[in-house]
Amino acid sequence: MNSETTVQQVTQFREIFGDDFRVGVSLARYTSARVGGLAEMFLVVKSGRALQTAVSLAYTLDIPYFILGGGSNILVSEAGVRGLVIMNKAKAVSFRHSGAHMVCTAESGMNLSSLARQCITKGLGGLEWAIGVPGTVGGAVVGNSGAHGGDMSGNLLAATIWEPGVGVRVYSAEEMEYAYRDSVLKREHGRPGARRVVLAAELKLTPEPVEVLMARADGFTARRKQTQPAGASVGSMFKNPENYFAGYLIESAGLKGYRVGGAQISEKHANFFVNDEEATADDIRALFAEAWNSVREQFGVEMELEVELVGDWKFED
């Protein structure tokens, strides 16, 4: 932190956010893969309003910003992230009736799986698929997360979004342009320029008996335990290519159990890459490069990463 502007930027954030703002924070403990370098600047926000204030200020000061939800769908480079990482802990939730349905409004930093549990105990169905999906409502809205045949596109009525240079706007489900693990916001990733930020989401729920919802959720949890490894990972590394399962392709390429440094392709599910021995981000990257190349060579399929690479990465080729 030696340039004059940066010192001014730090001072401005400190004045507004106090100790919630820090400099040089390791991101490894805030990501599910438990790898990654430092965030140059790091801020924890605890309300939608604080989130909005933070991104507006970063945008005005021309500081690159990155919204960190649960860190369960990203791989942060060892070199870390320049600019400001905003860790989203805005968690307010409310419910209202809407005809035969209920609408849940959740701030984007709410933990998705906890929200699904809260809905079940209230006898509100629709979000059971999200039990056991790590991360936040915001991350799921961006990535159209899903499981067991359900996904965010099936629940979302509207999303309140902060847009750089525009301000706050409500997006309808259609405007999110949802597809398999994809949305209009996810397609911004990797492009230069400031990104849109999800502040809150309105989700549609339907009253159902609590026992029915609990039984469904328990079934999903059991299936997850049976098929997925425990331990630090980013979940599915690759999207399922059309007509294939990524895990099946990686397993068929003979890579189950394959290891680079402290990272291993899971013996239980070959699309899960587990950090079981203090892996580095580079170990995991080498592992997914090997899987991608092997699958392409052996089956002619070019898999697409489901996980987003964040920070500064050096690619030789």
Which residues lie near ligand FAD (CB under 6 A)?
A: 32, 66-74, 88, 108, 133-136, 138-140, 142-143, 145-147, 189, 197-198, 233-235, 308
* Marked catalytic residue, from 34, 117, 181, 196: 181
Supply the minimum distance, in Å, between the C-beta of residue 52 and ligand FAD: 11
**Residue nearer to ligand FAD on the CB measure, 68 or 270:** 68
For residue 180, the minimal CB distance to ligand FAD (Å) is: 10
The residue type of 168 is V
What count of residues does the chain have? 317
Residue 306 annotated to the active site: yes
* Residue labelled with tokens 């328990």: 218
Minimum separation from the CB atom of position 297 to ligand FAD (A): 27
DSSP 196: P
Comparison of 12 and 221: residue with beta carbon closer to ligand FAD: 221
Residue 252 known to be catalytic: no
Nearer to ligand FAD, 68 or 158 (CB): 68
Q: Give the distance, in angstroms, between the CA of residue 2 and the centroid of all CA atoms in the same chain.
A: 32
Of residues 108, 153, 236, 266, which has the active-site annotation? 236
Which alpha helices (DSSP H) does 35-164 contain, by range?
48-60, 112-121, 137-143
Question: Residue 87 or residue 213: which is nearer to ligand FAD going by CB?
Answer: 87
Q: Shortest Cβ distance from residue 74 to ligand FAD (Å)?
A: 4
Question: Shortest Cβ distance from residue 110 to ligand FAD (Å)?
Answer: 10
Token duo for residue 1: 């932190």
What is the phi-psi region of residue 217: left when phi exceeds 0, alpha when psi lies from -120 to 50, beta otherwise? alpha
Of 158, 97, 153, 161, give the one whose Cα is nearest residue 126.
153
First to last CA, the chain: 31
Q: Which amino acid appears at position 141 of this protein?
A: V
Nearer to ligand FAD, 68 or 156 (CB): 68
Residue 187 known to be catalytic:
no
Distances in Å between the Cα of 291 and the Cα atoms of 9, 22, 215, 296 are 42, 37, 37, 8
Q: With contact defined as beta carbons under 8 Å apart, do 244 and 301 qualify?
A: yes
Question: Which of the residues 78, 107, 251, 306 is marked catalytic?
Answer: 306
- The set of catalytic residues is 181, 236, 306
